[in-house]
Structure 1
């Protein structure tokens, strides 16, 4: 943590032991940046190359938005074989951020701009750790910049072996949808942006040969007009549709259209039907080598230091395991790290690349610091991951692994995570949300909400005694889940990727 973080409400000590979790998570990454674009439109390739050559982080301004009809642009990048590039998002009106930026200035002769900024954070973090008391009590979350009142000492939990395995559980809220709806009904009091997903329909798209069609474009129509409800099918040609996220007063019969290349098809959806919807395209869809675009979306605030440290030591092994999967996927990795207002950076993104070594150098420079209050800039980071990275088109499998221990700020205004989970489905992006220890009930709701809507999974750390990381790995959790399986986090994540890609074989 940095100097500001001394006054940050201490999160429960179990946060620090979530470490292995994050580490194992981000292990798969290898990422330089493909598109040096602003918020509104792509930048020509010549300009991207020139910007990448400067090896200086670009800075975004807050200008959220997209096409007027709300439909996200289709993923269209052709490859990820490109030089590393880093982009940052900051609030231009944030005086604290400006002060930090001036303080962290380094000689222009240094070539590794990302490393310079991270080095400054590390020095600041080390100084604040030396000055801060060794033990502080957990305090309630406060508004950003408001110090907690008189923290009291508490005993340090027993340390665990540095390389001890981290156990984690996973639930699929779409597979046990009734239990998920019951969970939501018990938590209507939480301060979240709830969307009505009770009316849910499964859709499968096949081509003329009967094979499932990955990444088929799906649109829903009423009275001949397209609704703001779009999706792309996953590796198994499937998608979930939730009409009531738009409004309740839709017609009883909707038309669903699907297409892939020149092939297309349609079917009628009778609201209330129990059977899954099937669409068969009028031609055979082309088959290409499996391509996987994988993003790690990471909370880089002070309480995540252990997770990031463990991640740095484990990612190559995980990346190699994924590369050796039976489908031998063509891999692209990206990293989006985020903190909060007033920190050295708000959102820092490294776009897709197949250069794992370059990503490792970037990740190695990343330090956990800052924060200030419990919620973080997850809204803005998710928007960046969904809309501002160079996702490949034409049948790619697209996954985001979120690793965090706090919910998003809901007092900053747009962008909103619920809009971007809809944008993720429209762009064919599944979210696997991993809750580090200390994730509260609001964070659990948000993580499960986004994972369920996009067809992903909710992953969480488990211990010998629920909520007590010092008890070591085990099967217990403080989250509202049941019927979950448990295994080491690295194996779990590789398994989830393997299962996702295996669907492509039909």
Structure 2
């Protein structure tokens, strides 16, 4: 071997065993994480196996990232590899191989094992492993962990070398995640002579629950502020360009709060109520009281123009109570209390719990965390309320042109089945900002919900509104939800802006529910919009959702213990802000 080759191989070995993958990480204070990339040998030729290993030092924090794997061919073409249910597939689209990967401390681990096939065009094959902030594109060189090149020469000798100029640094990842011990590996390469890279990374079953943080507001308890919010949003919308689609509206001024009590003065839980005309007894609206006996009537939205009405109240025991009411005689508070002294309230014996989730690509920064939280919630509720008949449902949606628009899973009593359904969800598709939210909600509301004394609870998890032409149909779906007694709790993820917030809060008001919103306090995901609500408490998300469900089951609002409050904005008492 010539002296030049000796020097060259010595230099290659030095580079191979001294590459530094450095991440600058900011959480409270800068904390460095370093990784070392090594190979099984310094030189390689066609027909031999190339193995790449990585080790990560004792990092102080965990990074939530997307991983991009690609190869630049000698003709300049770049091929990306994507993990798919059927295996690893190549694509010319800039697509992450895996999303929401947790970079963490680990011993030397085999990253990939490929056989260099014969017959390849000789030249430079530039392999790139790019790890970027979850949800971002790999265009910024500061987000690249490392770049490695593979050179196949005409004499069948190929050098896999990494130069100092190939090293990169990552930007600010910031998610404060701890106590996680995922593992990952690449397995053997493809046998078809291609650069296939079978790849295994941890799914969200290894992401701990109790990470995400959220606030919530019950706009029905803070109705004056809600009406003012609606007015401001409509004025803002009207002042925009003529190309802007008007926001759908509903009459907020005529809301009537009706409280139905039983013979003991307790709220009559989930009683069926029917409004009809007094003279002809024509049915105008059927719905249910909440578990606390409250029903919010929106006469104009509900299509009720009459002032004098007959209200019939019935329970599962086929007992009924009827009373005439006159809306024209209401005071300025527009509240009405009815004591059905022949009826007795019972708390719900059944729970129908459904999750409606946007699974488009923009949800990639938080979806794995959300599904991990929801899995935990299902487990907690099923264990704590084992005496109840509980059914779980899941609807996921994307947008027109995606792999699917809506996937709907029927109600199941199996906790394991529900957890597996949540586990399988991945964020992809979307493209533009609006999504097919109205189609997802329509599927959910059309599900076979239980009737009678059942807590019917849905959580709509999204970061974007429907397309403009579907804003009004989306709001109109609240009619069916009201008739079935389905309470839709909206949960806003990162990316929610004015239109989505307006629509999600309106639907929650019309279906007697709360508006929940993720916050930046967890450090997970992209930035979250500051909510336009007068007061809120920030707690763990799973605690907030569990409290909402338990309130539906208990017939009264359940508050967070002071030890569980991370931060409080404004002041409140039993969910009512001090300004109301």
Match for residue 173 of structure 2 among 158, 173, 180? 158
Contact 1:235–1:501, Cα closer than 8 Å, also in 2: yes
Aligned equivalents of 1:286, 1:492: Cα separation in 2 = 26
Preserved CA contact (<8 Å) 1:267 1:279: no
Determine if contact 1:159/1:470 at 8 Å carries over to the other structure.
no
Structure 2 distance, partners of 1:210, 1:199, is 26
Match of 1:478 among 530, 534, 538: 530
Aligned-partner Cα distance in 2 for 1:380–1:206? 37
Residues 291, 347 of structure 2: 8 Å contact kept: no
CA contact (8 A) 2:321 2:343 kept: no
CA contact (8 A) 1:205 1:278 kept: yes
Whether the aligned pair in 1 keeps the contact of 2:288 and 2:295 (CA below 8 Å) is yes
Paired residue for 2:461, among 400, 403, 414? 403
Report the secondary structure of 1:215's partner residue.
Answer: coil
Aligned pairs for 1:108-127 within 5 A? 119=85
Matches of 2:251 and 2:478 in 1, distance apart? 13
Hey, what does 1:77 align to over in structure 2? none
- Matched residue of 2:450: which SS? coil
- Give the CA deviation at 1:124: 8.1
The aligned residue for residue 420 of structure 2 is 361
Matched, 1:494 2:546: yes
Question: What SS does the aligned partner of 2:394 have?
Answer: strand
Cα distance in structure 2, aligned partners of 1:266 and 1:503 = 23
**Secondary structure of 1:244's partner?**
coil
Which of 237, 258, 262 is the aligned partner of 2:319?
262
Selected match of 1:192 from 231, 243, 247: 247
1:383 matches 2:350: no
Query: Is contact 2:402–2:430 with CA below 8 Å preserved after alignment?
Result: yes
Is 1:318 matched up with 2:318? no
Could you say which residue in structure 2 is the equivalent of 1:87? none
Q: 1:296 corresponds to which residue? A: 355
Which whole-Å CA distance do the structure 1 matches of 2:382 and 2:300 have between them?
39
Which residue is 2:294 aligned to? 238
SS in 2 for 1:337: strand
Matches within 5 A, 1:132-143: none
Larger Rg: 2
Deviation at 1:288, TM superposition (A): 6.9
> Please, which of 228, 242, 254 is the counterpart of residue 182 of structure 1?
228
Kindly state the Cα deviation for residue 304 of structure 1 after the two structures are TM-superposed: 1.3
Aligned to 2:79: none
Q: CA deviation at 1:426?
A: 1.2
Q: Residues 471 and 339 of structure 1: is their aligned pair in 2 closer, same or farther, counting only changes over 3 Å?
A: closer
Counterparts of 2:500 and 2:386 in 1: how far apart (Å)?
34
Q: Distance in 1 between matches of 2:224 and 2:403?
A: 43
How big is the shift at 1:276? 2.6
Give the Å deviation of 1:424: 0.9
For structure 1, which runs of at least 5 residues remain unmatched after alignment?
1-116, 140-150
CA displacement 1:268-323 (0-9 Å, x = unmatched): 13234335323344643574762111100000101112433123434443223223
The alpha-carbon distance between structure 1 residues 133 and 420, as it changes in their structure 2 partners (threshold 3 A), is: farther
Q: How does 1:457-476 map to 2 (within 5 A)?
A: 457-463=514-520
**For residues 420 and 289 of structure 1, do their structure 2 counterparts lie closer, same or farther at Cα, with a shift above 3 Å needed?**
closer
- Corresponding pairs, count: 372
Match of 2:155 in 1: none
The structure 2 residue matched to 1:344, chosen from 394, 399, 403, is 403
Determine which of 477, 489, 511 is the counterpart of 1:432. Answer: 489
> Aligned in 2, Cα 1:410/1:120: closer, same or farther, shift over 3 Å?
farther
Give the match's secondary structure for 2:464: coil
SS at match of 1:455: coil
- Structure 1 position 446, deviation (Å): 0.4
Name the structure with the higher strand share. Answer: 2
Report the CA distance shift for 1:134/1:417 in structure 2 as closer, same or farther (over 3 A).
Answer: same
Could you tell me how far 1:429 is from its partner in structure 2?
0.9
SS of match in other structure, 2:440: helix
Tell me if the contact between 1:118 and 1:365 (Cα under 8 Å) persists in the aligned partners: no
Corresponding residue number in structure 2 for 1:216:
271
Deviations 1:100-123 (A, max 9, x none): xxxxxxxxxxxxxxxxx9826996
Question: 2:257 aligned to 182, 202, 219, which one?
Answer: 202
- Note the residue ranges of structure 2 that are not aligned, 5 or more in a row: 1-82, 98-127, 144-170, 179-209, 238-245, 559-580
Q: For residues 335 and 393 of structure 2, what CA distance do their matches in structure 1 show?
A: 34
Q: How far apart are 1:227 and its partner, in Å? A: 5.9
338 and 316 in structure 1: CA distance in 2 versus 1, 3 angstrom threshold = closer
User: C-alpha distance in 2, partners of 1:255/1:352?
Assistant: 35
